[in-house]
Structure 1
């Protein structure tokens, strides 16, 4: 994989997008961006209250993430952004055609356990079911890889780096 690509680390909340994204950016020697930072305050408030976002909430957020990715074209980068639906990934690709995705996937019970253990995050575990209901895994025609989230963040990152090399 060329570092000129922007990698979008995707998956439901609690899969380790931020942690793995930061480690992946370090391994690839490219900048990292936290997708949650692109959410407008209204989205954060909605999720903090336990209300799932709808597509109208997500479009401006995806456009902001896509603009960041487009700005990194030819230079590379890593951004953590849930990108749960194909239409969301299509929107990101429309802004930045060369993005590739790393789908952090795993067992619901493990992910819920990790969500419950983290401190200070706005996403409550009560929204995990809505995240899984929304999730559409990568399709064969999408540039990207699925990586299992069991093990340490370093092990997950290592699997991601190896899978990206095979693209």
Structure 2
């Protein structure tokens, strides 16, 4: 609860590999929760965008300043809530975000490789090429048992995913774990 007695709005990272629907789900989720929306893609340094656009995967050194920027975004909204779309593929990346905002909840959108490849093939407006999908899938580490988060199938329509997420995020903790 916040000081006013109303439930505290969560800080949520909508995570997963490229084309899983992070941005769409994050936008709808932020609207439903009445909190700010962020897109981690907007926080990438130009060098990262150039590298990915050229089909070169980012390494952990490339990602560190980007993750720290996402963490700052979350920390600034810790008391009022916010939703950010961010791949957060490795546990160590999520640790950076969690260190900036300990109350963060990760919403991992999960989908089959076939669905992801189909979605990437239909994109015309994104710097992430289809050639990097396999490298992202290889790097992806599922949420661990001590990580605060939810895994939701990304195949249904985005509004259905968001309804499920809101239900799980707003359920009292004793009911959510049981």
2:84 alignment counterpart: 79
Asked whether the equivalents of residues 9 and 35 of structure 2 are also in contact (C-alpha less than 8 Å), the reply is no
1:64 alignment counterpart: 69
Q: Rg bigger for which structure?
A: 2
Asked whether the equivalents of residues 105 and 147 of structure 1 are also in contact (C-alpha less than 8 Å), the reply is yes
Count matched residues.
167
1-structure distance, mates of 2:24, 2:120: 13
1:164 aligns with 2:148: no
2-structure distance, mates of 1:163, 1:43: 34
* Pick aligned residue for 1:137 from 114, 139, 142: 142
* Pick aligned residue for 1:149 from 147, 151, 154: 154
Name the SS for the 1:14 alignment partner. coil
Query: Post-superposition shift, 1:3?
Result: 4.4
1:1-150 alignment runs, 5 A limit:
2-150=7-155
Q: Deviations over 1:11-69 (max 9, x none)?
A: 00000000000000001010100110000000000000000000000000000000010
TM-score normalised per structure 1: 0.96
Q: 4+ runs of 1 displaced by more than 6 Å?
A: none
Q: Deviations over 1:68-100 (max 9, x none)?
A: 100001100000000000000001011111111
2-structure distance, mates of 1:162, 1:107: 24
Asked whether the equivalents of residues 3 and 28 of structure 1 are also in contact (C-alpha less than 8 Å), the reply is no
TM-score normalised per structure 2: 0.91
1-structure distance, mates of 2:106, 2:147: 8
1-structure distance, mates of 2:48, 2:85: 16
Q: 1:3 to 1:18 in 2, by over 3 A?
A: farther
